[in-house]
Structure 1
Protein backbone atom coordinates (compact mmCIF):
# COMPACT_ATOMS: atom_id res chain seq x y z
CA UNK A 1 0.00 0.00 0.00
CA UNK A 2 1.33 3.41 -0.95
CA UNK A 3 1.87 5.89 1.85
CA UNK A 4 0.92 9.52 1.91
CA UNK A 5 3.65 10.53 -0.54
CA UNK A 6 3.98 7.60 -2.96
CA UNK A 7 0.25 7.66 -3.69
CA UNK A 8 0.91 10.91 -5.57
CA UNK A 9 3.10 9.06 -8.07
CA UNK A 10 -0.08 7.89 -9.81
CA UNK A 11 -1.93 11.20 -9.61
CA UNK A 12 -2.18 14.18 -11.94
CA UNK A 13 1.01 15.80 -13.15
CA UNK A 14 3.17 13.54 -10.98
CA UNK A 15 2.58 10.67 -13.40
CA UNK A 16 5.27 10.17 -16.01
CA UNK A 17 3.21 10.95 -19.10
CA UNK A 18 3.83 9.34 -22.49
CA UNK A 19 4.43 12.75 -24.01
CA UNK A 20 6.86 13.92 -21.30
CA UNK A 21 10.21 14.78 -22.87
CA UNK A 22 13.20 12.82 -21.56
CA UNK A 23 14.39 15.51 -19.11
CA UNK A 24 10.99 15.61 -17.41
CA UNK A 25 10.41 11.85 -17.38
CA UNK A 26 13.90 11.25 -15.94
CA UNK A 27 13.35 13.73 -13.10
CA UNK A 28 9.78 12.60 -12.40
CA UNK A 29 10.99 9.00 -12.11
CA UNK A 30 13.49 10.16 -9.49
CA UNK A 31 10.68 12.04 -7.73
CA UNK A 32 8.75 8.76 -7.55
CA UNK A 33 11.73 7.10 -5.86
CA UNK A 34 11.97 9.95 -3.32
CA UNK A 35 8.28 9.76 -2.42
CA UNK A 36 8.49 5.98 -2.00
CA UNK A 37 11.61 6.16 0.19
CA UNK A 38 10.18 8.92 2.38
CA UNK A 39 7.04 6.83 2.90
CA UNK A 40 9.13 3.83 3.90
CA UNK A 41 11.11 6.04 6.28
CA UNK A 42 7.94 6.94 8.19
CA UNK A 43 7.55 3.38 9.51
CA UNK A 44 11.12 2.06 9.38
CA UNK A 45 12.97 0.85 12.43
CA UNK A 46 16.20 2.53 13.50
CA UNK A 47 18.61 0.43 11.39
CA UNK A 48 16.48 0.54 8.24
CA UNK A 49 15.85 4.27 8.71
CA UNK A 50 19.60 4.88 8.76
CA UNK A 51 19.93 2.93 5.48
CA UNK A 52 17.05 4.82 3.87
CA UNK A 53 18.48 8.15 5.03
CA UNK A 54 21.86 7.27 3.51
CA UNK A 55 20.26 6.39 0.19
CA UNK A 56 18.13 9.55 0.24
CA UNK A 57 21.13 11.77 1.00
CA UNK A 58 23.10 10.26 -1.89
CA UNK A 59 20.21 10.39 -4.38
CA UNK A 60 19.23 13.93 -3.36
CA UNK A 61 22.81 15.16 -3.75
CA UNK A 62 22.96 13.81 -7.31
CA UNK A 63 19.45 14.98 -8.18
CA UNK A 64 20.02 18.51 -6.91
CA UNK A 65 23.40 18.69 -8.65
CA UNK A 66 22.04 17.80 -12.09
CA UNK A 67 19.14 20.19 -11.71
CA UNK A 68 21.42 23.04 -10.63
CA UNK A 69 24.18 22.33 -13.15
CA UNK A 70 22.03 21.61 -16.20
CA UNK A 71 18.25 22.02 -15.85
CA UNK A 72 17.94 25.30 -14.00
CA UNK A 73 20.48 27.25 -16.11
CA UNK A 74 18.78 25.99 -19.28
CA UNK A 75 15.29 26.95 -18.09
CA UNK A 76 16.03 30.29 -16.44
CA UNK A 77 16.24 32.35 -19.66
CA UNK A 78 13.12 30.66 -21.01
CA UNK A 79 10.70 30.53 -18.07
CA UNK A 80 12.17 33.30 -15.95
CA UNK A 81 13.93 33.64 -12.64
CA UNK A 82 11.14 33.14 -10.11
CA UNK A 83 10.54 29.38 -10.32
CA UNK A 84 14.23 28.59 -10.77
CA UNK A 85 15.35 30.81 -7.88
CA UNK A 86 12.70 29.26 -5.62
CA UNK A 87 14.04 25.84 -6.54
CA UNK A 88 17.59 26.89 -5.68
CA UNK A 89 16.50 28.23 -2.28
CA UNK A 90 14.55 25.04 -1.55
CA UNK A 91 17.61 22.98 -2.51
CA UNK A 92 19.72 24.99 -0.05
CA UNK A 93 17.30 24.15 2.74
CA UNK A 94 17.39 20.46 1.83
CA UNK A 95 21.19 20.47 1.63
CA UNK A 96 21.43 21.77 5.19
CA UNK A 97 19.39 18.85 6.51
CA UNK A 98 21.27 16.35 4.31
CA UNK A 99 24.59 17.68 5.69
CA UNK A 100 23.28 17.24 9.25
CA UNK A 101 22.06 13.70 8.55
CA UNK A 102 25.39 12.72 7.03
CA UNK A 103 27.05 13.52 10.38
CA UNK A 104 24.71 11.19 12.31
CA UNK A 105 24.52 7.40 12.63
CA UNK A 106 20.77 7.02 13.10
CA UNK A 107 20.73 6.45 16.85
CA UNK A 108 20.32 10.11 17.76
CA UNK A 109 17.08 11.33 19.30
CA UNK A 110 16.32 13.78 16.48
CA UNK A 111 17.42 11.56 13.58
CA UNK A 112 13.92 10.39 12.61
CA UNK A 113 12.57 13.93 12.96
CA UNK A 114 15.28 15.26 10.64
CA UNK A 115 14.43 12.60 8.02
CA UNK A 116 10.73 13.44 8.39
CA UNK A 117 11.32 17.19 7.90
CA UNK A 118 13.60 16.49 4.93
CA UNK A 119 10.74 14.44 3.49
CA UNK A 120 8.17 17.18 4.02
CA UNK A 121 10.42 19.80 2.41
CA UNK A 122 11.55 17.56 -0.45
CA UNK A 123 8.06 16.38 -1.35
CA UNK A 124 6.77 19.97 -1.28
CA UNK A 125 9.61 20.93 -3.65
CA UNK A 126 9.20 18.02 -6.07
CA UNK A 127 5.43 18.42 -6.12
CA UNK A 128 5.88 22.05 -7.19
CA UNK A 129 8.37 21.01 -9.86
CA UNK A 130 5.99 18.39 -11.24
CA UNK A 131 3.00 20.74 -11.20
CA UNK A 132 4.57 24.05 -12.24
CA UNK A 133 8.20 24.09 -13.37
CA UNK A 134 7.97 20.95 -15.52
CA UNK A 135 4.69 22.06 -17.08
CA UNK A 136 6.21 25.43 -18.00
CA UNK A 137 9.29 23.66 -19.37
CA UNK A 138 7.14 21.22 -21.35
CA UNK A 139 5.18 24.11 -22.90
CA UNK A 140 8.46 25.79 -23.90
CA UNK A 141 9.62 22.48 -25.39
CA UNK A 142 6.40 22.21 -27.40
CA UNK A 143 6.95 25.78 -28.69
CA UNK A 144 10.46 24.79 -29.81
CA UNK A 145 12.21 27.09 -27.31
CA UNK A 146 14.15 24.26 -25.65
CA UNK A 147 14.91 20.64 -26.53
CA UNK A 148 14.11 18.72 -23.35
CA UNK A 149 14.99 15.40 -24.99
CA UNK A 150 18.56 16.52 -25.69
CA UNK A 151 18.70 18.12 -22.23
CA UNK A 152 17.48 14.81 -20.79
CA UNK A 153 20.43 13.00 -22.40
CA UNK A 154 22.78 15.54 -20.78
CA UNK A 155 21.06 15.08 -17.41
CA UNK A 156 21.27 11.28 -17.68
CA UNK A 157 24.96 11.40 -18.63
CA UNK A 158 25.85 13.72 -15.72
CA UNK A 159 23.74 11.66 -13.32
CA UNK A 160 25.66 8.53 -14.34
CA UNK A 161 28.99 10.36 -13.90
CA UNK A 162 28.04 11.44 -10.38
CA UNK A 163 26.89 7.94 -9.39
CA UNK A 164 30.14 6.52 -10.81
CA UNK A 165 32.12 9.03 -8.70
CA UNK A 166 30.16 8.03 -5.60
CA UNK A 167 30.79 4.35 -6.29
CA UNK A 168 34.50 4.97 -6.82
CA UNK A 169 35.17 7.42 -4.00
CA UNK A 170 32.15 7.59 -1.71
CA UNK A 171 31.84 11.30 -2.56
CA UNK A 172 30.12 13.22 -5.34
CA UNK A 173 33.27 15.23 -5.91
CA UNK A 174 33.11 18.77 -7.18
CA UNK A 175 29.78 19.73 -8.66
CA UNK A 176 28.75 23.01 -10.15
CA UNK A 177 25.85 23.49 -7.78
CA UNK A 178 24.40 26.88 -6.93
CA UNK A 179 26.11 28.19 -3.82
CA UNK A 180 24.44 30.16 -1.00
CA UNK A 181 25.99 33.42 -2.16
CA UNK A 182 24.45 32.85 -5.61
CA UNK A 183 21.07 32.51 -3.93
CA UNK A 184 21.55 35.88 -2.27
CA UNK A 185 22.59 37.45 -5.59
CA UNK A 186 19.60 35.88 -7.35
CA UNK A 187 17.12 37.71 -5.09
Structure 2
Protein backbone atom coordinates (compact mmCIF):
# COMPACT_ATOMS: atom_id res chain seq x y z
CA UNK A 1 0.00 0.00 0.00
CA UNK A 2 1.54 3.36 -1.01
CA UNK A 3 2.18 5.92 1.67
CA UNK A 4 -0.23 8.83 1.90
CA UNK A 5 1.11 11.95 0.24
CA UNK A 6 2.58 14.44 2.65
CA UNK A 7 1.22 17.95 2.58
CA UNK A 8 3.73 20.75 2.69
CA UNK A 9 2.61 24.22 3.57
CA UNK A 10 4.52 27.48 3.41
CA UNK A 11 5.34 27.38 7.11
CA UNK A 12 6.94 23.94 6.73
CA UNK A 13 9.04 25.19 3.81
CA UNK A 14 10.26 28.30 5.61
CA UNK A 15 11.01 26.59 8.92
CA UNK A 16 12.98 23.90 7.08
CA UNK A 17 15.02 26.65 5.43
CA UNK A 18 15.61 28.30 8.81
CA UNK A 19 17.03 24.97 9.97
CA UNK A 20 19.27 24.77 6.89
CA UNK A 21 20.47 28.33 7.57
CA UNK A 22 21.41 27.39 11.17
CA UNK A 23 23.30 24.35 9.87
CA UNK A 24 25.17 26.43 7.29
CA UNK A 25 26.22 28.95 9.93
CA UNK A 26 27.65 26.01 11.92
CA UNK A 27 29.39 24.64 8.83
CA UNK A 28 30.96 28.00 7.96
CA UNK A 29 32.17 28.49 11.54
CA UNK A 30 33.66 24.98 11.73
CA UNK A 31 35.50 25.00 8.39
CA UNK A 32 38.37 26.86 6.75
CA UNK A 33 39.92 27.50 3.36
CA UNK A 34 37.98 26.36 0.31
CA UNK A 35 35.44 24.45 2.41
CA UNK A 36 34.63 27.64 4.32
CA UNK A 37 34.31 29.69 1.12
CA UNK A 38 31.99 27.05 -0.34
CA UNK A 39 29.83 26.84 2.79
CA UNK A 40 29.65 30.63 3.04
CA UNK A 41 28.67 30.87 -0.63
CA UNK A 42 25.82 28.41 -0.02
CA UNK A 43 24.75 30.42 3.05
CA UNK A 44 24.74 33.67 1.09
CA UNK A 45 22.68 32.11 -1.69
CA UNK A 46 20.14 30.52 0.67
CA UNK A 47 19.70 33.72 2.69
CA UNK A 48 19.28 35.80 -0.48
CA UNK A 49 16.67 33.59 -2.14
CA UNK A 50 14.86 32.88 1.16
CA UNK A 51 14.49 36.55 2.06
CA UNK A 52 13.44 37.51 -1.46
CA UNK A 53 10.66 34.92 -1.45
CA UNK A 54 9.47 36.06 1.97
CA UNK A 55 9.46 39.68 0.83
CA UNK A 56 7.58 38.92 -2.40
CA UNK A 57 5.09 36.32 -1.15
CA UNK A 58 4.87 35.75 2.59
CA UNK A 59 5.18 39.23 4.08
CA UNK A 60 2.52 40.79 1.81
CA UNK A 61 0.08 38.00 2.72
CA UNK A 62 0.82 38.46 6.42
CA UNK A 63 0.59 42.24 6.19
CA UNK A 64 -2.90 41.98 4.64
CA UNK A 65 -4.26 39.13 6.73
CA UNK A 66 -2.80 39.11 10.23
CA UNK A 67 -4.15 41.32 12.99
CA UNK A 68 -1.37 43.86 13.52
CA UNK A 69 0.25 42.69 10.29
CA UNK A 70 1.56 46.14 9.34
CA UNK A 71 3.71 46.42 12.47
CA UNK A 72 4.81 42.79 12.41
CA UNK A 73 6.04 43.04 8.83
CA UNK A 74 7.62 46.47 9.23
CA UNK A 75 9.73 45.03 12.06
CA UNK A 76 10.74 41.98 9.97
CA UNK A 77 11.66 44.16 6.98
CA UNK A 78 13.89 46.36 9.15
CA UNK A 79 15.65 43.24 10.44
CA UNK A 80 16.02 41.90 6.89
CA UNK A 81 17.57 45.12 5.61
CA UNK A 82 20.10 45.14 8.45
CA UNK A 83 20.96 41.49 7.84
CA UNK A 84 21.38 42.10 4.09
CA UNK A 85 23.76 44.97 4.85
CA UNK A 86 25.78 42.76 7.21
CA UNK A 87 25.79 39.87 4.74
CA UNK A 88 26.91 42.12 1.86
CA UNK A 89 29.74 43.48 4.02
CA UNK A 90 30.83 39.94 4.97
CA UNK A 91 30.69 38.82 1.35
CA UNK A 92 32.87 41.77 0.33
CA UNK A 93 35.26 41.07 3.21
CA UNK A 94 35.84 37.44 2.29
CA UNK A 95 36.21 34.42 4.52
CA UNK A 96 39.97 34.83 4.93
CA UNK A 97 39.71 38.30 6.49
CA UNK A 98 40.76 38.27 10.18
CA UNK A 99 37.52 40.11 11.09
CA UNK A 100 35.33 37.50 9.38
CA UNK A 101 34.66 35.28 12.42
CA UNK A 102 33.57 38.17 14.65
CA UNK A 103 31.35 39.66 11.93
CA UNK A 104 29.90 36.23 11.13
CA UNK A 105 28.89 35.87 14.80
CA UNK A 106 27.13 39.25 14.68
CA UNK A 107 25.26 38.22 11.53
CA UNK A 108 24.41 34.80 12.95
CA UNK A 109 22.81 36.30 16.07
CA UNK A 110 20.84 38.81 13.99
CA UNK A 111 19.62 36.22 11.48
CA UNK A 112 18.66 33.62 14.08
CA UNK A 113 16.87 36.23 16.21
CA UNK A 114 15.03 37.36 13.09
CA UNK A 115 14.09 33.77 12.22
CA UNK A 116 12.67 33.18 15.71
CA UNK A 117 10.62 36.39 15.44
CA UNK A 118 9.28 35.33 12.03
CA UNK A 119 8.30 31.92 13.32
CA UNK A 120 6.65 33.25 16.45
CA UNK A 121 4.93 36.41 15.24
CA UNK A 122 4.33 35.66 11.58
CA UNK A 123 4.57 32.03 10.43
CA UNK A 124 2.52 30.30 13.11
CA UNK A 125 -0.11 33.02 12.92
CA UNK A 126 -0.24 32.56 9.14
CA UNK A 127 -0.91 28.88 9.71
CA UNK A 128 -3.83 29.85 11.99
CA UNK A 129 -5.27 32.38 9.51
CA UNK A 130 -5.03 30.44 6.25
CA UNK A 131 -6.54 27.17 5.14
CA UNK A 132 -4.63 24.14 3.93
CA UNK A 133 -5.10 25.02 0.26
CA UNK A 134 -3.91 28.59 0.77
CA UNK A 135 -0.85 27.42 2.71
CA UNK A 136 0.04 24.97 -0.06
CA UNK A 137 -0.45 27.69 -2.69
CA UNK A 138 1.84 30.03 -0.73
CA UNK A 139 4.46 27.25 -0.56
CA UNK A 140 4.31 26.85 -4.34
CA UNK A 141 4.57 30.62 -4.79
CA UNK A 142 7.60 30.75 -2.47
CA UNK A 143 9.32 28.00 -4.46
CA UNK A 144 8.62 29.85 -7.73
CA UNK A 145 9.95 33.13 -6.31
CA UNK A 146 13.11 31.40 -5.08
CA UNK A 147 13.76 29.94 -8.54
CA UNK A 148 14.13 33.43 -10.00
CA UNK A 149 15.47 35.30 -6.96
CA UNK A 150 18.82 37.10 -6.72
CA UNK A 151 21.57 34.95 -5.24
CA UNK A 152 23.33 37.73 -3.33
CA UNK A 153 22.06 40.30 -0.82
CA UNK A 154 20.70 43.59 -2.16
CA UNK A 155 19.88 45.90 0.75
CA UNK A 156 17.08 48.32 -0.05
CA UNK A 157 14.84 45.86 -1.88
CA UNK A 158 12.82 44.73 1.12
CA UNK A 159 9.37 45.09 -0.41
CA UNK A 160 7.44 42.98 -2.85
CA UNK A 161 7.25 45.89 -5.30
CA UNK A 162 10.99 46.60 -5.22
CA UNK A 163 11.80 42.90 -5.52
CA UNK A 164 9.45 42.45 -8.44
CA UNK A 165 10.76 45.56 -10.24
CA UNK A 166 14.49 45.09 -9.64
CA UNK A 167 14.59 41.39 -8.92
CA UNK A 168 14.63 39.84 -12.40
CA UNK A 169 17.51 42.01 -13.64
CA UNK A 170 19.46 41.74 -10.39
CA UNK A 171 18.90 37.97 -10.31
CA UNK A 172 20.19 37.60 -13.85
CA UNK A 173 23.31 39.64 -13.03
CA UNK A 174 23.87 37.63 -9.82
CA UNK A 175 23.53 34.31 -11.61
CA UNK A 176 25.90 35.35 -14.42
CA UNK A 177 28.39 36.55 -11.81
CA UNK A 178 28.07 33.19 -10.01
CA UNK A 179 28.82 31.32 -13.24
CA UNK A 180 31.88 33.47 -13.94
CA UNK A 181 33.20 33.04 -10.40
CA UNK A 182 32.70 29.29 -10.56
CA UNK A 183 34.63 29.13 -13.85
CA UNK A 184 37.68 30.75 -12.25
TM-score in terms of structure 1 length:
0.71
CA shift, 1:75, in A, is 1.2
1:1-187 correspondence runs (5 A): 22-79=9-66, 80-142=69-131, 147-162=134-149, 177-178=158-159
Instruction: Give the number of equivalent residue pairs.
Output: 153
Separation in 2, partners of 1:71, 1:130: 12
Checking the alignment, whether the CA contact within 8 Å between 1:104 and 1:111 is kept in structure 2 is yes
Q: Give 1:12's aligned residue.
A: none
Q: Deviations over 1:101-151 (max 9, x none)?
A: 221232211111121211111111111222221111111014x8x922111
CA shift, 1:52, in A, is 2.0
Separation in 2, partners of 1:42, 1:53: 9
Gaps of 5+ in 1: 1-18, 182-187
Checking the alignment, whether the CA contact within 8 Å between 1:31 and 1:126 is kept in structure 2 is yes
Separation in 2, partners of 1:102, 1:92: 15
Gaps of 5+ in 2: 1-5, 163-184
TM-score in terms of structure 2 length:
0.72
Checking the alignment, whether the CA contact within 8 Å between 1:53 and 1:115 is kept in structure 2 is no
